[in-house]
Chains A and B, each alone.
Chain A
Amino acid sequence: MRRGLISWSKAELPESALDARVARVQAAMGEAGIDLLAVYTNPARESGVAWFTGFIPYWNQCVMLLPRAGRPTLIAGMTARVRDWIMRNAHIEAVANTTKIGAETGRLIAEKMSGAVVAIADIDKVPGSIVDGIRASAAAVVDGGPLLERARAPADPAELAFAFKAATIAHAALANATADETDAAHLVAAIDGEARRLGAEEVYVALAPDLTANRRLIRLEGTTPLGSAFAARISLAYKGTWVRMVRTLGRDAMLVRDVASAVTSFAAAIVSLPRIDSMGSFAAFLIEGCRTTTPLEPLAGTMLGDQSAIAHGTVVTVQATIETNGRAILVGAPVLVGRNGEASSALVAPRFDDAG
């Protein structure tokens, strides 16, 4: 559920940028013989529809239908009372409000394009009730994920700008944390509040409250004392674009030196992305990104058995656990993956005043 700033800013995401994305996908649909593209969205899977329309559901679920020509239509699970809010915040042709999204989507397809070939983005992840509704009216249903993935890479300037803004907010929020904090709840409040005040759409703060005991980043409830070394990760969205950033802090001068060293190692390793061999010396690493409709999808890392392709010209988030002088330092930042042999680069370096 979203409760941060949600509003379509036409200054940051002009209609022409959305029209260009739609046109790019429609051209690919034509080449592939696809009449309609259906993209599912809910607050945890917002990245597809937000990319096409700027729309972000604060709760509930929706389906976007994109024909081969013209603007998309939204079939939304919210009642008609929020119709005006949706129309203000989405670059769409129309919205239909219904509690039976699958059936209504099927009805619209039958009414406007009976016998259509429909591609559903990430079909395996879309609720069965919606896929069934579409199947009932379509001549054929195919997976639209690969088509959408190709259209989204490399990221366009508007998407890069959102990622950079998100990274800037993440850095400012983590900079609001102080090493002398002793209460986890107060640390989380300082980070969370700052990110929202800077315009984040949603914020999740996870902590490893005592790195000497456990390196896992978790969501805490109630009061938890912070150890002498701890780490904070902020995951946040700015207008549908998600990033993470990780910072290690502590009340120990030696730790400050080790953090600076780990950040330097991290910066050196990300340069060669999409190649990941330089991460091999880290105790653990994780690379996440958005390929189609899901934000921060795991692409590569020590937790994963296999690796997905990391596309040139896209933004990924890299997290690493780096052993330095026998202790774990957690570092993370969003990275723009280089194109045409260019080096990859952190959007904002995960470097803070106390870490050199």
Chain B
Amino acid sequence: MLAQERRERLLAEMRREGLEAIIVYGTSWQEAYLRYVSDFGILEADGIAILTADGRCRLFVENAAEAERAQVEANGIDTRLVRNLAQAVGRELEAVSNQRIVAAPRALLPAWLTASERSFRLEDGAGLLDRLLMEKAPNEIAVMRRAVALADEGYEFFRSAARPGRKQYEVVADVEAFLRRKGSPDNFMIIGSGNADVRGMAPPSERTLKLGDLVTTELTPAIEGYLAQICRTLVLGKANPVQKQAFAIWHEAMEAGIAAVKPGVAAADVARAENDVFRRHGLGEYTTSKYTRVRGHGLGLSTDIKPSLLEDIDIVLRPGMTIIVHPNTYHPEAGYMVLGDVVVVTESGCERLTRTPAQLFEMSA
């Protein structure tokens, strides 16, 4: 079982580093560490799991619905519903307070747990977990392949749902229902529609889609907790010359980024390969944080794991990493455009997992 396999990998790392316990925090937008350790996909409030070197795992949650779910979904893990998450976890940690304990992500732990007056000390363990989250085992990559295939299907459905006259949130509702029918319990999705007035994607609004709009989306369905993303741009109608010329730059940038992905290169090198294309076309300004967050990022048990593809990130790519390369940003005449494919880093380079054509889609009649 994948969850057991993950836990065994972590326990081996803990033994290597001489750790007695690791505690992981999770909430709906920072779910990866908790999912890795407990296999529980948290939705409401917060949860913390403690894994000790003897392989025992305990999960503490503060929401009653989550406790009920976890008793079934987190196979075999001792789950407790508690009023005060920090103090309940703290009581457990007191038993191992004289040994090495790491926490991930330490910065998000409730203040009570990291206060100096506690009898235990929590070192930052995010680096250890991040390594495992990034460098996936073959069985994890197999699930990622299925998730990417679902993202491809999801985007095909999205193109049929995005029609003039519909509101953004109605389109997203249809996509969500499609993914639920496919058995996917979760998805992350943002959207944009319009032209040069649109500076980015956001959660769906009441904005009505219109003929001529550029409709952008980042669609990220989950399978067994693994999330795979696709980014594409659709023109509601025929693309005009400005949109086509702009998209050609995005395409060139994505391909340049993917061509740079191989073991041993830094995340910064991939970002630079993408951004150099924009700079060559006189659009370097639009690669900055004023217009774009990242030029891609890792995918796995969260929509956004390390490494971020940015020119100042020196994380070295290694086989088993799954990454989306997406040079998403604003174009001053066409508006916000997106394009992103998922790749897995192999021993010699990378393999593209996304099958949807890397093109500027046009609405068919």
Per-residue interface assignment for chain A, residues 279 to 319, with 1 indicating a CB less than 8 Å from any chain B CB and 0 otherwise: 00000001010000011111001011010000000000000
Q: Mark A1-41, 1 if CB is under 8 A from B, else 0.
A: 11111110000000000000000000000000000000000
Interface residues of A in 25-67 (CB under 8 A from B): 42-45, 58-61
Q: B45's contact among A44, A82, A189, A223, by CB below 8 Å, is which?
A: A44
The residue on A at minimum CB distance from B107 is: A129
Which of B62, B69, B190, B203 has most A Cβ within 10 Å? B203
CB-based contact B64/A294 at 8 Å: no
A193–chain B nearest beta-carbon distance, Å: 3
- Quick one: which of A115-156 are within 8 Å of B by CB? 123-132
A219 in contact with B172 (CB, 8 Å) = no
Contacts of B63 in A (CB 8 A): 296-298
Q: Which of A220-257 contact B (CB under 8 A)?
A: 220-223, 233, 235, 244
Are B64 and A298 in contact, CB atoms less than 8 angstroms apart?
yes
Interface size bracket, B side: 35 or more
How close is B59's CB to chain A, nearest CB, in angstroms? Answer: 15
* CB <8 Å contact, B173 and A196: yes
Interchain nearest-CB distance for A203 vs B (Å): 8
Residues of B273-330 contacting chain A, CB below 8 A: 289-293, 303
Residues of A within 8 A of B46 (CB): 44-45, 125
Contacts A221-B185, A298-B81: A193 and B205 contacting too (C-beta < 8 A)?
no
Complex CA–CA separation, A185 to B178 (angstroms): 10
Contact B203 A2 (CB under 8 A): yes
Shortest Cβ gap from B17 to chain A (Å): 23
Chain B 163-204 against A: per-residue CB contact (8 Å), 1 yes, 0 no?
000000110111011101111110111100000000110111
**A206→B185 CA distance, assembly (Å):** 10
A131 to B180, CA, bound (A): 39
For B72, the chain A residues whose CB sits under 8 A away are 214, 216, 218
Spot the interface stretch: B94-102, B112-120, B256-264. Answer: B112-120
Helix, strand, loop or mixed for chain B's interface?
A: mixed
* Chain B CB within 8 A of A79 CB: yes
Complex-state Cα separation, A149 to B198, whole angstroms: 39
Is A186 touching B181 in the complex (CB atoms < 8 A)? yes
CA distance A131 to B111 in the complex (A): 6
Which residues of A are found within 8 Å of B188, using beta-carbon distances? 1, 3, 59
Inside 8 A of B174's CB, which chain A residues have their CB? 193, 197
Partner of B177, one of A7, A189, A199, A306: A189
- CB atoms of B204 and A303 under 8 A apart: no
In Å, the complex CA distance between A1 and B84 comes to 23
Closest-by-CB residue of A relative to B174 is A193
A192 in contact with B44 (CB, 8 Å): no
Residue B224, interface by CB 8 Å? yes
Interface 1/0 per residue, B67-84 and A, CB below 8 Å: 111011100000001011
* Residue on A nearest B191 in the bound complex, by CB: A3
Cβ A190 vs Cβ B177 within 8 A = yes
Q: Does A355 contact B (CB under 8 A)?
A: no
The residue among B41, B115, B176 with the most chain A CB atoms within 10 A of its own CB is B176
A286–B28 alpha-carbon span in the complex (Å): 22
Shortest CB distance B69–A (Å): 5
Taking CB atoms, residues of chain A closer than 8 Å to B293 are 79, 81
Contact A126-B64, Cβ < 8 Å, known A43-B28, A80-B289: no
The binding surface of chain A is classed by DSSP as mixed
Bound complex: CA of A286 vs CA of B63, how far in Å? 11
**Chain B residue with the shortest CB-CB distance to A78:** B293
A123-B111, A128-B107 as given contacts; A81 in contact with B199, CB under 8 Å: yes
Q: How far is the CB of A276 from chain B (nearest CB, A)?
A: 15
Contact assessment for A128 and B109 in the assembled complex, using a CB-CB cutoff below 8 Å: yes
> Is the beta-carbon distance between A188 and B204 smaller than 8 angstroms?
no
Q: Is B86 an interface residue (CB 8 A)?
A: yes
A235 to B190, CA, bound (A): 21
Let me know if A128 and B111 touch, CB within 8 A.
Answer: yes
Contact A219 B111 (CB under 8 A): no
CB distance from B84 to the nearest CB of A (A): 6
Q: Does A84 contact B (CB under 8 A)?
A: yes
Given A79-B289, A223-B183, the answer on whether A306 and B113 have CB atoms closer than 8 Å is no
Please determine whether B177 and A193 come into contact, CB atoms closer than 8 angstroms: yes
With beta carbons under 8 angstroms apart, the residue of B28, B65, B178 that contacts A217 is: B65
Contact B44 A44 (CB under 8 A): yes
Per a CB cutoff under 8 Å, which of A61, A303, A306 touches B67? Answer: A303
Instruction: Please give the distance in Å from B309's CB to the nearest CB on chain A.
Output: 14
Question: Is the Cβ of A82 less than 8 Å from the Cβ of B173?
Answer: no
Q: Which of B29, B44, B69, B106 touches A60 (beta carbons < 8 Å)?
A: B29
Residue pair A81, B290 in contact (C-beta under 8 Å): yes
Chain B residues near A126 (CB-CB < 8 A): 110-111
Q: Is the CB of B185 within 8 A of A1?
A: no
With the chains together, A5 CA to B223 CA distance in Å?
A: 24
> Are B86 and A124 neighbours in the complex by a CB distance under 8 Å?
yes
Q: How far is the CA of A82 from the CA of B200 in the complex (A)?
A: 7
- Minimum C-beta distance from A124 to chain B (A): 5
Is B356 an interface position by the 8 A CB rule? no
A5 B206 Cβ-Cβ under 8 A: yes
Q: Which residues of B contact A185 (CB under 8 A)?
A: 180-183
B108 contacts the other chain (CB 8 A): yes
Residue B19 at the chain A interface, CB threshold 8 Å: no
**CB pair A43 B29 closer than 8 Å:** yes
14 A-B residue pairs with Cβ-Cβ distance under 8 Å, sorted by A, are: A3-B203, A4-B173, A81-B200, A125-B85, A125-B86, A193-B173, A197-B173, A204-B43, A216-B68, A219-B41, A286-B64, A301-B64, A303-B68, A304-B83
A-B pairs, 5 with minimum CB distance? A193-B177, A196-B173, A128-B114, A189-B180, A131-B111
